[in-house]
A and B are shown apart, each in its own frame.
Chain A
Amino acid sequence: DAKTTQPNSMESNEEEPVHLPCNHSTISGTDYIHWYRQLPSQGPEYVIHGLTSNVNNRMASLAIAEDRKSSTLILHRATLRDAAVYYCILRPYSNSNSGYALNFGKGTSLLVTP
């Protein structure tokens, strides 16, 4: 599986935008980029995913570099509730029933201060 690299930790002020980077220089052409986050004392939750184009949803935006070797998860206005570990995960496209396993790395621990 292609590997991702994320900073161990980041800090942000409440109500400020947060840009969480992820490097994936060995990404293949069919790998999708997924982001999950894990709030304290909870299971992980899905945030967003994309392939080539930038993506937006109610939680965040995903900006993907033109060469796809890096991506950035953008939280437009951080709240205290966004303090969590954020995981950037690559998932290959599959048109067969080959199963589903997420390869979590260490992720980025985001601290949000008031």
Chain B
Amino acid sequence: EIVLTQSPGTLSLSPGERATLSCRASQSVSSSYLAWYQQKPGQAPRLLIYDASNRATGIPDRFSGSGSGTDFTLTISRLEPEDFAVYHCQQYGSSPPYTFGQGTNLEIK
């Protein structure tokens, strides 16, 4: 089973700042099959990024994903008020289980 570790657990930033979130895998994620999701309180997760670096439909270009192997990053170039939420990474490169990281809480400073 691939274990995903997200850091930091909580990130405190102000609107307009740049956010960098990390997701590290315990072993290489094949084909860079890694996704990022955004979740706001009381809502279902929403797909942001798939295949490590491809934005999902309708996702603003201030969101970008990068990485390969065991190290992946989600970057939000300039934070908007609606971007403060919890972010989850998920790998789907191997056979099940399709594991998630524990999440990063992006909060307003």
Whether A associates with B in a native complex is: no
